């Protein structure tokens, strides 16, 4: 194994741990993570590593394959069930059928010629190469639509970009030192690197445009005992906060239908605060979905 492949695999592992840290060790948790992309990655790895228990290459090879599959299973299972309160399903709406069908056709048409006994394994391997090249697209679509963006998510995406980009160096090395090349792997890898680069640019632009979103804030403006509650998707930071969308105007007495104990308590508090009824501005964090349920 050459240095390019070792560093590429290391980048993949770092990306996975960054994703796990975001999911299980931060307040944002699954916010901004596309379950559809993670599902496509799981399908990709399962199709590629069908030979996991039928052929042994090395301890390293078997360990990496097992780790990648198991980590994908954990991600796919936890996001929609255990972490469902943080999963932004409303933004994760890319039609993955638009990826699965063309990739399946391409795998049937553009593949290596092998004997009939190896046909299934070869088709699955080829399909996994093409699918991995585009599996990240639902993630970038989710970000573009307004999904949560933070530094850990960017670390994960950059790790995936580095992982595929460094494999290009691996193929160049093998071509000049081993006279080996694989047009399927090279084509899929170059495509995935390009897709990841474009998506990473989009994600970075969204991150800098919105600021790092950790918890939605709702700005409550109180004027003559009338409470206007505009909604903003991300925290108000320096140079940010212009994307308000007026949600509703009312008093504490007619806000019960919002179904948010946090909001009602806040309004009752302001209603009884002698200094709050006139021209008072207050920004408070309230759990996402309080106003949208």
- Residues of the chain with pLDDT > 90, as a percent, come to 44
**HSE, side-chain direction, 13 A CA sphere, residue 26:** 20
Q: Which helix (H) or strand (E) holds 77?
A: helix 59-77
Closest CA to 207 of 137, 146, 134: 146
Chain centroid to Cα 86, Å, comes to 12
Q: Which residue has the tokens 């307040």?
A: 27
Chain centroid to Cα 245, Å, comes to 26
pLDDT tens per residue across span 215-230: 443 444 444 444 444 4
Strands of 280-285's sheet, edge to edge? 245-250, 226-231, 217-223, 280-285
Q: Which residue has the tokens 């052929």?
A: 55
- Extract the tokens encoding 280: 């008072």
- Comparing 107 with 224, the larger pLDDT belongs to 107
- Comparing 94 with 233, the larger pLDDT belongs to 94
Lowest-pLDDT range, 30-44, 150-164, 214-228, 237-251?
237-251
Average pLDDT, the chain: 76
How many beta carbons lie within 10 A of that of residue 78, not counting itself? 19
Lowest-pLDDT range, 99-113, 209-223, 253-267?
253-267
Partners of 285 in beta bridges: 217
Rounded to whole angstroms, how far apart are CA atoms 291 and 216?
Answer: 11
Q: Does the pTM of the predicted model rise above 0.85?
A: no
User: Average pLDDT, stretch 202-214?
Assistant: 71
Going by pLDDT thresholds of 50, 70 and 90, the confidence category of residue 4 is confident
């Amino acid at each position: 194994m050459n240095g390019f492949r070792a560093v590429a695999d290391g980048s993949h592992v770092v990306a996975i741990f960054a994703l796990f840290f975001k999911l299980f060790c931060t307040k944002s948790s699954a916010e901004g993570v596309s379950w559809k992309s993670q599902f496509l990655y799981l399908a990709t790895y399962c199709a590629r590593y069908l030979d996991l228990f039928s052929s042994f290459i090395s301890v390293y090879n078997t360990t990496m394959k097992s780790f990648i599959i198991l980590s994908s299973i954990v991600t796919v299972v936890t996001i929609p069930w255990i972490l469902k309160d943080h999963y932004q399903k409303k933004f994760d709406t890319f039609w993955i059928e638009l990826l699965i069908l063309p990739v399946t056709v391409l795998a049937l048409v553009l593949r290596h010629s092998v004997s009939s006994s190896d046909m299934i394994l070869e088709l699955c391997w080829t399909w996994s190469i093409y699918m991995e090249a585009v599996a990240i697209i639902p993630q970038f679509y989710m970000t573009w639509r307004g999904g949560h963006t933070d530094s850990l998510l960017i670390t994960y995406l950059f790790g995936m970009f580095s992982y595929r980009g460094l494999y290009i160096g691996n193929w160049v090395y093998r071509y000049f030192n081993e006279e080996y090349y694989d047009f399927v792997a090279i084509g899929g890898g170059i495509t995935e690197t390009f897709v990841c680069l474009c998506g990473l640019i989009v994600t970075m632009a969204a991150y800098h445009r919105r600021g790092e979103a950790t918890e939605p804030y709702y700005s409550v403006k109180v004027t003559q005992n009338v409470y206007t509650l505009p909604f903003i998707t991300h925290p108000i930071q320096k140079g940010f906060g212009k994307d308000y969308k007026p949600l509703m105007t009312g008093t504490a007495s007619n806000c019960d239908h919002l179904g948010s104990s946090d909001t009602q308590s806040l309004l009752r508090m302001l209603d009884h605060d002698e200094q709050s009824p006139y021209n008072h501005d207050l920004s408070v964090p309230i759990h996402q979905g309080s106003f949208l349920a």
